Every structure is written in C-alpha cells, then in structure tokens.
Amino acid sequence: MPDFYAREVAAQGAYCIGKYSDWILDPLLKRFAGGLCNTMKDFNYPQNANGDPEVASCLSKPFFNYYLTTESWSMFRALYDNHLGMQDKYLAFWEKVANTFSSNPYVLGYDPINEPMPAFGSVFDVVNKLWPGHYDREQLAPLYSKIYTKYMNANTENIMAFEPG
C-alpha cells in the first residue's frame, strides 16, 4: 500500500485487535505474545527524511514481524471494510494494472494480495475470524471477487492466483 494511504489510515488511530480493548490487552500482548501489536515506533528504528523507518534497520528482523503491527492490522481492516475508500482505491489500482498488462504475453497472472492477513474489529472478532474458513469467506472472498471482476473486464483470458488466509 502506498505510504500516503498508510499514513491516512494511521492518522485515524491505528489499533490491533479492538479500538477499546487494545489499551487493556497491549501490556499483556507485548509481554507474552512476542511483540504482537507493536507499533512501528516500538522498534525504535532510525527514520529517513520521509519519517519512515530506515530500510537497513527493517531488514534486521524477519519481515513477518511487521505484519503484526497495529499499522498493518489497521491497513488490512481499512482494505476489507473500505474505510476511507481504501478498497475502492485498491480496486482502481488493480483495474489499471489489468488494463495495462493484459495484452503483455509475459504476464502469466495476477496475485492480488501476497500473504493476506485477517483484520479484527474486536476481541470477539478474533475468535470468529480465526475459525477455519471464516476469514476467507467473510473478508478475502468478497474482495477477491471484486478484483477478479476487474481482471475479467480487462481480458477474459486473465488468470488470478490467490492464497487463502
């Protein structure tokens, strides 16, 4: 997701599991869940001129750690729920990509989200989304269906590769 969209979502108040439960859960998660729900600032990385963590510092930890930050959870939530029009913007991006590259013989297919993650709205939602198949049905499938339509509108020969949650 572009930096300016991530900043827009974060400015609305990034949170991990629930807007109201994070303040209770945060100390427990940081102590017992290995950094689940850290913020990017919690890593204490030096920042570049744009205010983003330096790439060299980010490479010092496995990339997956950043998926577990409040910023990442909030971005996925905004994408699935279309908060601030993020899903609309994402669909417009894939429409442009499909229209631009559909005639390119070197493009084999499109993968709309690499390593998708669920987004939680509350503590109760965690149990719900982690139940086998629920996240795929409730968040991923509707989004994938919309993206697939963009691919097919560009060219009915387009192939969509995707992964479940």
Decide if 159 is inside a domain. Answer: no
Flag whether 161 is in a domain. Answer: no
- Dihedral (Cα; 148, 17, 70, 34), 10-degree rounding: -110
Report d(CA 81, CA 87) in Å as an integer.
7
| pTM assigned to the model | 0.87
The whole-number mean pLDDT for each consecutive block of 10 residues of the chain, a chain of 165 residues, reads: 89 83 76 76 94 94 88 92 96 97 95 88 68 88 97 96 88
**Neighbour-count burial of 18, counting CB atoms closer than 10 A to its CB (0-12 exposed, 13-18 middle, 19+ buried):** middle
Within-domain flag for 160: no
> 64 lies in a domain?
yes
Q: Flag whether 39 is in a domain.
A: yes
User: What are the pLDDT digits (tens) for 36-67?
Assistant: 788 899 899 999 999 899 999 999 999 888 88
- In which domain, by residue range, is 67 found? 3-154
Instruction: Indicate the number of domains in the chain.
Output: 1
